[in-house]
Amino acid sequence: MRDTTKIMGKVTIYSIVILIAAIFMFPILHTILTSFKKPVDAFSMPPKWLFSPTLKYHIHIWTKELFPKYLMNSLIIAASTVGISIPIACLGAYGFVRHRSRIAFVVLLGLLAIRMFPRILLVIPYYLLSRFLHLHDTKIIMILIMVAFNQPFSIWLMRGFFLNVPMELDEAALVDGCTRFGGFLRVVLPTVLPGIAATTIFSFLLAYNDFLFAFILTGTETKTLPVAIAEYGAESIEYWSISAAGVTGIITPVILIMLFLQKYLVKGLTYGALK
């Protein structure tokens, strides 16, 4: 008797969880399906779940439109952001951890606060400065902004990992004749590789997902994928299948990151809440 209740309970929980997962998943799946539909199938009501798929729209956006260029822009900006910001953040976090002082900690908190500020307070000066300095529609300004914007959280995240590195490790390296920097590079850094992985993913996502800064500061030359897709989606709805193909293209990389690097992602997301 007890067993039956228990099994029924399990079955109920599983059904509810699966239903919830299906609801969360549905908009993504439906969009991906739409990208393979001809308009006649896409707009049919009730929706067609079985249809003859077409690759036409995927081929269209990657050959007839400038999507490859936008993707390259997005990837160059995101990769440069990671490439510049991770070394700086590692150095910074390590410096803050080893230079233990109240002031250093307050500075760290202050940095984090800036990230919570309304972004428009930064967009306005960026917009004006990019015009004065002729940096409008260049990748440089986007990369600079993303690197800076990325620092506070990256430093905090890395700080958590460096805190676990014993001071003796540094001292041993110094005794062995390393300089401070050499010891950091050869002895300390290799022990925080999981932290670097987590920070890399977050920095990449921050730059890849950014819309507001790119929307204001990029133009025909440097437009990123989110900006391109937002403009596309705003156009006539006849292009639904094409837009859906664009969306599929844009979310595929992040979903792959999610599937393969989930462990590191969760580490970063729950950082601060746990410990």
Partner 1 sequence: MNKSGYLYFVIPALSVLAIVLVYPLAYSLWISLFSYYLPSPPPVFVGLKNYISTIRGSDLLHALAITFPFTGGVVCMQFVLGLVIALLLNRIEVGRRVLTTIVFLPHMVTPVVAGLILKWMFIPEWGMVNYFLGLLHIQGLPWLSHPFYAFVAIMLADSWRNTPLVVIVLLAGLRSLPQEPIEAARIDGASGFRMLWHIILPLLKPIILFIAIIRTMDAFRVFDTVFAMTGGGPGTATEVITIYNYRVALRLLCIGQGAAIGVWTLIFLLGPIGIYLYLLYEKG
- Give me the numbers of helices (H) and strands (E) for the chain, helices first please: 13, 0
Q: Please list every residue from 117 through 156 that binds partner 1, using CB under 8 A.
A: 117-129, 144-145, 147-149, 151-152, 155
With beta carbons less than 8 A apart as the criterion, state whether 225 and 74 touch.
yes
Tokens encoding 90? 């590692």
Binds partner 1 by CB under 8 A, chosen from 14, 59, 194, 221: 14
112 binds partner 1 (CB under 8 A): yes
Cα(223)–Cα(231) distance, rounded to whole angstroms?
Answer: 11
Closest to 139 (Cα-Cα) out of 228, 204, 207, 89: 207
> Per CB under 8 A, does 91 bind partner 1?
yes
Please report how close the Cβ of residue 270 comes to partner 1 at its closest, in angstroms: 4
Q: By CB under 8 A, name the one of 86, 243, 245, 264 that touches partner 1.
A: 243
Select the span of 59-67, 75-83, 190-198, 240-248 touching partner 1 (CB under 8 A): 240-248
The answer to whether 74 and 210 have CB atoms below 8 angstroms apart is: no
Contact call for residue 200 and partner 1 (CB under 8 A): no
Q: Contact 74/224 with Cβ under 8 angstroms?
A: yes
Residues within window 43-82 making contact with partner 1, judged by CB under 8 A: 43-47
Token match 């676990």: residue? 164
Mapped onto helix, strand or coil, the DSSP state of residue 26 is helix
Selected range binding partner 1 among 50-58, 59-67, 190-198, 236-244, rule: CB under 8 A: 236-244
From 2, 5, 24, 190, residue interacting with partner 1 (rule: CB under 8 A): 24
- Contact region for partner 1 (CB under 8 A) — 55-63, 65-73, 132-140, 259-267? 259-267
> Smaller CB distance to partner 1: residue 50 or 121?
121
Nearest distance, CB of residue 260 and partner 1, angstroms: 11
Per CB under 8 A, the segment of 52-60, 61-69, 83-91, 189-197 that binds partner 1 is 83-91
Question: Cα separation of 164 and 158, whole Å?
Answer: 10
Give the number of residues in contact with partner 1, rule: CB under 8 A. 98
Build a one-symbol-per-residue string for 204-233: x at contacts with partner 1 by CB under 8 A, - elsewhere.
Answer: -x--xx-xx---x--------xx--xx--x
- Asked if the peptide bond before residue 46 counts as cis, ω within 30 degrees of 0, the response is yes
Residue whose C-alpha is closest to residue 159's, from 5, 43, 28, 275: 275
Q: Quick check: 247 and 37 in contact, CB under 8 A?
A: no
Q: Under the criterion CB under 8 A, does residue 11 sit at the interface with partner 1?
A: no
Q: Which of 21, 59, 172, 193 binds partner 1 (CB under 8 A)?
A: 21
Judge contact between 174 and 238, C-beta under 8 A.
no
